[in-house]
Amino acid sequence: MDNLSLKKMANNVRKGIIESVHAAKAGHPGGSLSAADVFTFLYFEEMNVDPKNPEDPLRDRFVLSKGHTVPGQYAALAYRGFFPVEELMTLRKVGSRLQGHPSLGLPGIDMATGSLGQGISAAVGMALAGKMDNASYRVYTLLGDGELEEGQVWEAAMFAGAHNLDNLCVMVDNNNLQIDGTLEEVCSPYPIDKKFEAFNFKVINADAHDFDDIRRAFKEARETKGMPVCIIFKSIKGKGVSYMENNGEWHGKAPGDDLFKTAMDELNAMGEELEKEGDR
Amino acid sequence: MADMKATREGYGEALLELGNELQSVVVMDADLAGATRTGVFKKAFPDRFFNAGIAEANMMGIAAGLSLSGKIPFVSSFAMFATGRAYEQVRNSIGYPHLNVKICASHAGITVGEDGASHQCIEDISLMRGIPGMVVISPADVVEAKAATKAAAYYKGPVYIRYGRSNVPVINDRDDYKFEIGKGTLIKEGKDVTIVATGICVDSSIKAAEALKSEGIDAEVINISTIKPLDTEIILKSAKKTKKVVTVEEHSIIGGLGSAVCEFLSENYPVKVLRVGIKDVFGESGSAAALFEKYGLDSKGVTKAVKEFLS
């Protein structure tokens, strides 16, 4: 998929995030939006997945360790054809397959997550199984930067590094904001790169909102042999909705009707601009 | 005198057989392979053994990932760390997605002995029983420990099994012994009182029943090796007959077998129940035998408790 198509799709994913979170009257838009371009690239370009065969043993796996930003993953899965786009509007409602945090039972969800620090361990287990079976699949897991404060992340990193799991791609959504403030204000996990390097990871830095850079980072990750990879994606929390950008307030709340309209107007305008870009 | 063997030996023996029977069995430990007996599997199947290091939380998550990739992981540590340290990982990464992971923990209860209270887990049954869909097994002896481990491998879903450190009498070495998840065993018939025991307290309960006999008390003894799902049928039948129930376990009286039996009987056939176990206190250092005696879990303690309960 070319960059323009990716941008258009990422814009759809952003709209899906805002619409579903608004309909649910709850959810985590900030970190979903910061990872929207990465979700889009993973499902439309990077990962070997088939919506018609979501349980394929040979598929690439994805574990959303920062499970609260699942509205972004749901939107990407829906647009990729894993389930109907309309189902996004059932997010967080009783009886829905779209639980507030990822839960098994929805096509495309490879692991139940939500309690921070745990997803990466499951991803390490999947990568280990892949090595045992000489399977070709790769395992991707996305972590929040605040999530790095969980000790379990470093237990998992130690194991992955010690076992040279080069089929594992850890990604950090580095938007620098967590619930109680900036990472530095809360309890700084920086330097993130040096920490992963110390655990025998190849570290790649990339811009989370530049598809050329995202493409370069994943290519470099795939070409890395003998050690696991960590891509640190520098991102903007709330990216794409002006009043949510770099504003920690939008970590975990839904916009009311007025702000919902503002957000959708902005995203629709962006959509039109991207259409025009295509016409040029 | 009966043979003496620790239940953890049964775990190691079962793993060896399972390694040959099921290629998908993978074993993990957290730097306690010698003590938990996963070491015997490691030696025989080095390619299917992984040491997580002293990182129990991560071990549970890796096990979840292995099971999602078609493996049958058996993960081991001491009960304290497997169910305590890593409780939330077991709950959220294994229990909630209902994954096919076997959590096999040794050194449960106060018979850990000299290491003292920090290592004597008396809350594991309670913790694991509260997780929806988790099977909880507490084998009575080495024979049952081996049979339960093998049964767990062929059952699909999360299972917790607790094993002990100390040597305990072998009571199930008979040809017709059979283990089935969720089935209790009537060990001795009686009419005056029902003793429902689990784990290594089954032996002290059998001996207590013998002592009670000489004092004119005819006790029925039931071994409940699967605490969840509970064999309610065998308990109800006996309670209807004796109208008095004593539970015996090497675990806190809060949340374990005694609680499970009370929960069932109070809703279905209320009779008076005495819970023999660790009475809401921490353990301490000492030999296993001395601790068993001090905390009233040996045959003398059980005999005394039953007599007081009946008088």
Q: Which residue intervals of B74-192 are DSSP H helices? A: 79, 87-89, 124-129, 142-154
Q: Please, what sign has the CA dihedral across residues A84, A85, A89, A92?
A: positive
Nearest to B109 by CA among B49, B149, B42, B165: B165
Between the two ends of chain B, the Cα-to-Cα distance in Å is 32
Residue B177 lies in a domain: no
Same domain for B126 and B32?
A: yes
List chain B residues with CB under 8 Å of A158. Answer: 53, 55, 58
pLDDT for position A280: 74
Instruction: Work out the angle at residue A171's Cα, subtended by the Cα atoms of residues A167 and A177, and round it to the nearest 5 degrees.
Output: 165
User: Averaged over A173-197, what is the pLDDT?
Assistant: 97
Please provide the DSSP assignment of B279-301 as one string.
Answer: -S----SS-HHHHHHHTT-SHHH
CATH of the domain at B30: 3.40.50.970
User: What is the DSSP code (8-state) at residue B84?
Assistant: I
Tally the domains of chain B. 2
Instruction: Work out the angle at residue B220's Cα, subtended by the Cα atoms of residues B218 and B223, and round it to the nearest 5 degrees.
Output: 155
Tokens of A35: 């990872």
Q: Is the separation of the CB atoms in A89 and A27 below 8 Å?
A: no
List chain B residues with CB under 8 Å of A63. Answer: 65
Q: How far apart are CA B134 and CA B99, in angstroms?
A: 10
Range of the domain at B277: 185-305
Residue B78 lies in a domain: yes
User: Averaged over A166-190, what is the pLDDT?
Assistant: 97
Q: How far apart are CA A17 and CA A266, in angstroms?
A: 14
Same domain for B114 and B228?
A: no
User: Averaged over A139-157, what is the pLDDT?
Assistant: 98
Residue B27 lies in a domain: yes
pLDDT for position A279: 80
Residue B29 lies in a domain: yes
Tokens of A196: 């992963």
Interface with chain A: mutation pick from B48, B50, B56, B68, highest number of A CBs within 10 Å: B68
Tell me which residue has tokens 């910061």: A34
What pLDDT, in 10s, does the model give residues A202-230? 999 999 999 999 999 999 999 999 999 99
User: What is the DSSP code (8-state) at residue B164?
Assistant: -
Same domain for B201 and B124?
A: no
Average of per-residue pLDDT values in chain A:
98
Peptide bond just before B158 cis, omega within 30 deg: no
SS3 content of chain B, % helix, strand, coil (to 5): 45, 20, 35
pLDDT for position B1: 56
Residue B265 lies in a domain: yes
Q: Is the separation of the CB atoms in B201 and B186 below 8 Å?
A: no
Same domain for B15 and B117?
A: yes
Distance from CA of A233 to the nearest CA of B (A): 24
Residue B311 lies in a domain: no
- What residue ranges do the domains of chain A occupy? 3-279
Task: Show the low-confidence residues of chain B (pLDDT under 70).
Answer: 1
Residue B178 lies in a domain: no
Instruction: Work out the angle at residue A129's Cα, subtended by the Cα atoms of residues A123 and A133, and round it to the nearest 5 degrees.
Output: 145
What pLDDT, in 10s, does the model give residues A57-95? 999 999 999 999 999 999 999 999 999 999 999 999 999
Does B215 qualify as catalytic in the annotation?
no
The phi and psi torsions of B176 (rounded to 5 degrees) equal -90, 10
CB contact under 8 A, A112 and B93: yes
Residue A270: partners with Cβ closer than 8 Å, 6 or more residues away: A11, A240
Please list the residues that pair with A177 across neighbouring strands. Answer: A182
pLDDT above 70 as % of chain A: 100
Interface with chain A: mutation pick from B69, B72, B92, B94, highest number of A CBs within 10 Å: B69
User: Averaged over A100-125, what is the pLDDT?
Assistant: 98
Peptide bond just before A255 cis, omega within 30 deg: no
The answer to whether the predicted template modeling score (pTM) of the entire model surpasses 0.90 is: yes
Closest residue of chain B to A60, computed from CA coordinates: B69
Class of domain A3-279: alpha beta
Q: How far apart are CA A73 and CA A201, in angstroms?
A: 25
Same domain for B13 and B161?
A: yes
CATH of the domain at B274: 3.40.50.920
